[in-house]
C-alpha cells in the first residue's frame, strides 16, 4: 500500500468537532457558485441549484463539500471581495441549514471571505494561494482554529500560466510546503492538508511529474488532496473536452489513490466513490 511508508502520515482531521478518518480515502464534491468555472456542469450560481447539488453529492457519498464563489480558472475575472461574499454566503447558509451534518470546505484565498463563511457554519478553508495572496489568511486560520488546505500556485489565476517554469517542480513544491507548513505550525494550526495544485502554474509535464511522485510528499507527514477532476491535464492530453473527461478523471484519480491520496476533490462524486471502493478492495487483507 502506498500509505505504508516509513514516515508517519497524519490521517485524522478535526472539522467543527467532527473527527474524520483519512486513512480511508475520502471524496470532496465541488460546488461552484459561479457563472464561469471551467467545467460548465459544475456551475451552480443559484441557491436552489447549489442545494440540489449538495443533496446529490452527499447521497453519493461525499465526505466534504467544497464551495467556491471565485472562479480560479486561467484568466478568470477578478471579482471583488464583496461580490465573492455575496455569491457565497447564501449558498453556505442554505446548505448548513438543510444538511447540518455536512462538512463544508470554503474555496477562497481571501481571509475576510473565509472568516465570513466559517462563521456561517463552514468548517475548512481551502486556499489555492497557500496564504500568498492575502497576508491575513494564516492569522485568520489560527484565530478560527479550522483545518487548512495548503495548495501550491505561482502568481494569480490571471498570471499563473505565464509562471509555469521550474528547474525541478517536485523539489520546488516540497520546499514551498516545508516553509509554509513551518509557519502554520509555529502559529498553532493543527490540521493542514497539502494540495500540489495540479493545473495551477503547471504545464502537463509538471502535472504528471507531480502525480508520479505524489507519494514522496508523505515525507511531510501530512494528508494529501488531489484535485485533477476534468482538468486540461486530462482533456488536453486526450484531445477531448472537460465535458468528455470523466473517464480520464477516474483513471487519474485511481492512480492518485495508488500513490497515497487521502482526499479526491471531484465534480463527479459517484464515480470517485466507486474508484475508492475498488481501491479499498484491492488493498484489503481479505483473501478469497
Helix (H, G, I), strand (E, B) or coil at 65: strand
pLDDT score recorded for residue 45: 61
**Rounded distance, CA 131 to CA 252, Å?**
28
**Rounded distance, CA 159 to CA 174, Å?**
22
Strands 64-68 vs 26-32: parallel, antiparallel or unpaired: parallel
Task: Indicate if 265 belongs to the active site.
Answer: yes
pLDDT tens digit sequence for 126-158: 999 999 999 999 999 999 999 999 999 987 777
67, 87, 158, 197 from 117: Cα distances, Å = 10, 11, 24, 22
The answer to whether residue 189 scores a pLDDT higher than 80 is: yes
pTM: 0.92
Name the catalytic one among 110, 180, 202, 231: 231
pLDDT score recorded for residue 5: 45
pLDDT tens digit sequence for 204-241: 999 999 999 999 999 999 999 999 999 999 999 999 99
pLDDT tens digit sequence for 103-131: 999 999 999 999 999 999 999 999 999 99
**Rounded distance, CA 50 to CA 27, Å?**
18
**Rounded distance, CA 232 to CA 235, Å?**
5
Name the catalytic one among 9, 43, 202, 265: 265
List, in order, residues 6 or more apart from 12 with CB less than 8 Å away. Answer: 19, 20, 21, 22
Closest CA to 106 of 74, 139, 137: 137
Amino acid at each position: 500500500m502506498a500509505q505504508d511508508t516509513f514516515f508517519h502520515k497524519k490521517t485524522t482531521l478535526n472539522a467543527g468537532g467532527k473527527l474524520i478518518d483519512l486513512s480511508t480515502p475520502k471524496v470532496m464534491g465541488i460546488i461552484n457558485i459561479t457563472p464561469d468555472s471551467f467545467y460548465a456542469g459544475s456551475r451552480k450560481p443559484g441557491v436552489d441549484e447549489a442545494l440540489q447539488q449538495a443533496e446529490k453529492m452527499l447521497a453519493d457519498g461525499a465526505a466534504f463539500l467544497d464551495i467556491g464563489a471565485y472562479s480560479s480558472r486561467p484568466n478568470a475575472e477578478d471579482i471583488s471581495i464583496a461580490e465573492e461574499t455575496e455569491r457565497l454566503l447564501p449558498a453556505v447558509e442554505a446548505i448548513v441549514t438543510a444538511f447540518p451534518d455536512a462538512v463544508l470546505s470554503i474555496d477562497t484565498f481571501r481571509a475576510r471571505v473565509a472568516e465570513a463563511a466559517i462563521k456561517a457554519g463552514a468548517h475548512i478553508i481551502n486556499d489555492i494561494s497557500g496564504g500568498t495572496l492575502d497576508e491575513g489568511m494564516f492569522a485568520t486560520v489560527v484565530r478560527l482554529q479550522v483545518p487548512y488546505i495548503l495548495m501550491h500556485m505561482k502568481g494569480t489565476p490571471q498570471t499563473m500560466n505565464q509562471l509555469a517554469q521550474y528547474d525541478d517542480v517536485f523539489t520546488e513544491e516540497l520546499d514551498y510546503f516545508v516553509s509554509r507548513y513551518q509557519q502554520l505550525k509555529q502559529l498553532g494550526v493543527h490540521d493542514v492538508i497539502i494540495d500540489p495544485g495540479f493545473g495551477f502554474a503547471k504545464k502537463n509535464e509538471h502535472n504528471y511529474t507531480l502525480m508520479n511522485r505524489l507519494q514522496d510528499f508523505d515525507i511531510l507527514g501530512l494528508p494529501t488532496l488531489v484535485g485533477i477532476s476534468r482538468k486540461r491535464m486530462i482533456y488536453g492530453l486526450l484531445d477531448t473536452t472537460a465535458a468528455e473527461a470523466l473517464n480520464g478523471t477516474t483513471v487519474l484519480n485511481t492512480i492518485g489513490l495508488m500513490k497515497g491520496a487521502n482526499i479526491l476533490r471531484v465534480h463527479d462524486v459517484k464515480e470517485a466513490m466507486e474508484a475508492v471502493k475498488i481501491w479499498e478492495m484491492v488493498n484489503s487483507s481479505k483473501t478469497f
